[in-house]
A and B are shown apart, each in its own frame.
Chain A
């Protein structure tokens, strides 16, 4: 059976070959409910999203700012589990076999389902992004033994160059460059540092580099896409989803994503 690690690589390589930047979009599974998440995922793709990061809720998400924390809490109140999220991905795959899917979350929830994770590459998941494991660690070192999924690591403005090498060696898919010192959705986007730091990472790896944390406007997205291979939009989407959760009319979100997709590919 072909390794599904290929889906993420193929997507990113194709974008590169066409001189296009990737738009990665994040949402928290089950906020406001799983049906909406499924609808939003398909809607994201139609609006120009290339890769989807599905947030797995955790009671103690220490890297998240208030917006994503609240979304985790709302999702947990709906009793969303990793098991249900994998089923959601399978459902998504019925209509979309091209868009790579990354599960993003915290180690403890993944460890609770360590066995179930062994075959998630056959169920449509392409990568894991575990926020609280040291970047140098391989997934199997922390107790997740699936070798057919990509492991995406974070590099931050405070990561020393000596560690970047080790982090890149144990990563696959892409490198996620954190564009600020802080939690998700903060205001102090560190645009100046980003260029230099991303250039430094490039000396250590051939993997694509995505920039994320705190990118809200198409202007910021456009600037960061010039120095990276794509951008990740998270908190602002989560906030917009929450604001629209009453009427479940998500059109303005798709317009917003469309605008960003165009801005990064001018």
Chain B
């Protein structure tokens, strides 16, 4: 079997998952992207530019922080936080957009499109497009526009156009459909910056590679701060880009990897967004992967307190890591997540995004498996400022 780190194969598969399941018109654009990326991948100058932007524009490296009071609260292993919430624009999403915008530039594309759920990827895309003076269009579900209004305004301030998508349940999945339709229509001058490790090959690989800076930094920082690699890394999984970015450099190391999905109202209710826990393999948005679907092969509506995890699919590499048991995937529900959000905010003075709060909520289930000497790292994928309206509403407080 191929080593995990050597995947995907040349057809874009991670084991049984991945591939390029797209309408024919897009095949040419995917090939063009793949060719460009494979040329630039070994180009030191290209990556020197990416690194420079990560340092000066994003503010990397993000710190590895010891969460003293949270450690005490759980009473078990040492808990460390990888602070992606401190990145410019507020989440890990910018790692990917900084890289992909340079690919777009190398390909001479003048127009940038993206989908967004929580709005973080929309903001991160609009920011890099603004910086290069490129026309930018963000597709966002009409329901997400309502629940993430702060980010919508940020995207507009950055000069991008926000397109409200009203089809389906008007959430992330539907925004992706519409972005793909835009791309099919404007294929020649448009670059599509996919925001997660989802979609057709080569996107899952490219988005992972650009996010892998998180895991590479963590390798150095963990050696520096506690003299060995972490015993476990915990990250939330919607499409799964923050998780894949922090997992990837550790795939061949003896480190437990835990992905946390959104159980929404509870796995048993069926109202959730946890395809790895309660879905089955299928094909959506260009790739084969675990999928929330009914017996007729129709994609079913998802539910989660966090717009960024409210997606019926998941990156194909996660499906492969699940089947091969290299990573473990659990799910936590909205109630647990909200509790974890408040807990971390009060104990550490850090307000995590509701997406990242899923990883914190998982600690309740995980700490018992580790000794006091163990080191657990939670990837804090983003900050929670965008979510204060939701948190207030859930607490019965009106901010108007």
Could you list which residues of chain A lie within 8 angstroms of chain B, going by C-beta atoms? 58-63, 65, 69, 73, 76, 81-83, 106-113, 131-135, 153-160, 163, 178, 181-183, 186
Minimum CB distance partner of A106 in chain B = B283
Q: How far is the CB of B17 from chain A (nearest CB, A)?
A: 13
**B159 contacts chain A at the CB level, 8 A cutoff:** no
Residues of B within 8 A of A60 (CB): 168, 173, 177, 284-285, 299
Q: A62-B23, A62-B285, A159-B24 are in contact. List 6 more A-B contacts (CB 8 A).
A: A60-B284, A63-B25, A65-B181, A131-B23, A134-B22, A153-B24
**B185 contacts chain A at the CB level, 8 A cutoff:** yes
In the bound complex, do residue B295 and residue A132 qualify as a contact, i.e. CB atoms below 8 Å apart? no
In the bound complex, do residue B24 and residue A182 qualify as a contact, i.e. CB atoms below 8 Å apart? no
Asked whether A62 and B177 contact (CB < 8 A) given A160-B28, A181-B25, the answer is yes
Q: How far is the CA of A58 from the CA of B185 in the complex (A)?
A: 20
In the bound complex, do residue B25 and residue A156 qualify as a contact, i.e. CB atoms below 8 Å apart? yes
Minimum CB distance partner of B313 in chain A = A60
In the bound complex, do residue B299 and residue A111 qualify as a contact, i.e. CB atoms below 8 Å apart? no
Minimum CB distance partner of A66 in chain B = B167
Minimum CB distance partner of B281 in chain A = A111
**B220 contacts chain A at the CB level, 8 A cutoff:** no
In the bound complex, do residue A108 and residue B299 qualify as a contact, i.e. CB atoms below 8 Å apart? yes
In the bound complex, do residue A159 and residue B27 qualify as a contact, i.e. CB atoms below 8 Å apart? yes
In the bound complex, do residue B184 and residue A182 qualify as a contact, i.e. CB atoms below 8 Å apart? yes
Q: Which of A112, A153, A158 contacts B187 (CB 8 A)?
A: A158
Asked whether A107 and B23 contact (CB < 8 A) given A60-B168, A160-B31, the answer is no
In the bound complex, do residue B184 and residue A108 qualify as a contact, i.e. CB atoms below 8 Å apart? no
Q: Which of B21, B291, B293, B297 contacts A113 (CB 8 A)?
A: B297
Q: Which of A65, A112, A133, A153 contacts B296 (CB 8 A)?
A: A112
In the bound complex, do residue B283 and residue A108 qualify as a contact, i.e. CB atoms below 8 Å apart? yes
In the bound complex, do residue B297 and residue A112 qualify as a contact, i.e. CB atoms below 8 Å apart? yes
In the bound complex, do residue A186 and residue B297 qualify as a contact, i.e. CB atoms below 8 Å apart? no
7 shortest A-B CB distances, which residue pairs? A112-B297, A158-B28, A182-B185, A109-B297, A63-B23, A154-B24, A156-B25
Of the candidates B186, B187, B286, the one having the most CB atoms from chain A within 10 angstroms of its own CB is: B187
Q: How far is the CB of B142 from chain A (nearest CB, A)?
A: 15
Q: How far is the CA of A113 from the CA of B187 in the complex (A)?
A: 33
In the bound complex, do residue A132 and residue B21 qualify as a contact, i.e. CB atoms below 8 Å apart? yes
Residues of B within 8 A of A160 (CB): 28, 31
**B314 contacts chain A at the CB level, 8 A cutoff:** no
Minimum CB distance partner of A56 in chain B = B297
Residues of A within 8 A of B9 (CB): none
In the bound complex, do residue B28 and residue A112 qualify as a contact, i.e. CB atoms below 8 Å apart? no
Q: How far is the CB of A131 from chain B (nearest CB, A)?
A: 6
Asked whether A108 and B293 contact (CB < 8 A) given A62-B180, A65-B181, A133-B21, the answer is yes
Q: How far is the CB of A18 from chain B (nearest CB, A)?
A: 30
Asked whether A186 and B185 contact (CB < 8 A) given A107-B21, A134-B20, A156-B25, the answer is yes
Q: How far is the CA of A109 from the CA of B296 in the complex (A)?
A: 6
Q: How far is the CA of A82 from the CA of B187 in the complex (A)?
A: 32
Task: Give chain B interface residues in 166-224, CB to chain A under 8 Å.
Answer: 167-168, 173, 177, 180-181, 184-188
Of the candidates B28, B168, B286, the one having the most CB atoms from chain A within 10 angstroms of its own CB is: B28
Residues of B within 8 A of A186 (CB): 185
Asked whether A183 and B24 contact (CB < 8 A) given A60-B299, A132-B283, the answer is no
In the bound complex, do residue B185 and residue A76 qualify as a contact, i.e. CB atoms below 8 Å apart? no
Q: Which of A106, A108, A110, A183 contacts B291 (CB 8 A)?
A: A108
Of the candidates A61, A83, A106, A108, the one having the most CB atoms from chain B within 10 angstroms of its own CB is: A108
**B249 contacts chain A at the CB level, 8 A cutoff:** no
**B107 contacts chain A at the CB level, 8 A cutoff:** no
Minimum CB distance partner of B28 in chain A = A158
Of the candidates B19, B25, B29, B284, the one having the most CB atoms from chain A within 10 angstroms of its own CB is: B25
Q: How far is the CB of A4 from chain B (nearest CB, A)?
A: 24
Subset of 15 A-B contacts with CB under 8 Å:
A60-B173, A60-B284, A82-B297, A83-B296, A106-B283, A108-B283, A111-B282, A132-B23, A156-B25, A156-B27, A158-B27, A158-B187, A181-B186, A181-B188, A183-B184
Q: How far is the CB of B150 from chain A (nearest CB, A)?
A: 28
Residues of A within 8 A of B19 (CB): 134
Q: How far is the CA of A131 from the CA of B22 in the complex (A)?
A: 7
Residues of A within 8 A of B49 (CB): none
Asked whether A183 and B173 contact (CB < 8 A) given A109-B298, A158-B25, A163-B27, the answer is no
In the bound complex, do residue B180 and residue A111 qualify as a contact, i.e. CB atoms below 8 Å apart? no
In the bound complex, do residue A159 and residue B298 qualify as a contact, i.e. CB atoms below 8 Å apart? no
Q: How far is the CA of A160 from the CA of B31 in the complex (A)?
A: 10
Residues of A within 8 A of B167 (CB): 69, 73
In the bound complex, do residue A107 and residue B283 qualify as a contact, i.e. CB atoms below 8 Å apart? yes
Q: How far is the CB of B317 from chain A (nearest CB, A)?
A: 19
Minimum CB distance partner of B294 in chain A = A112
Of the candidates A83, A133, A153, A154, the one having the most CB atoms from chain B within 10 angstroms of its own CB is: A133
Residues of B within 8 A of A163 (CB): 27
Minimum CB distance partner of A83 in chain B = B296
Minimum CB distance partner of A76 in chain B = B298
Q: How far is the CB of B273 from chain A (nearest CB, A)?
A: 15
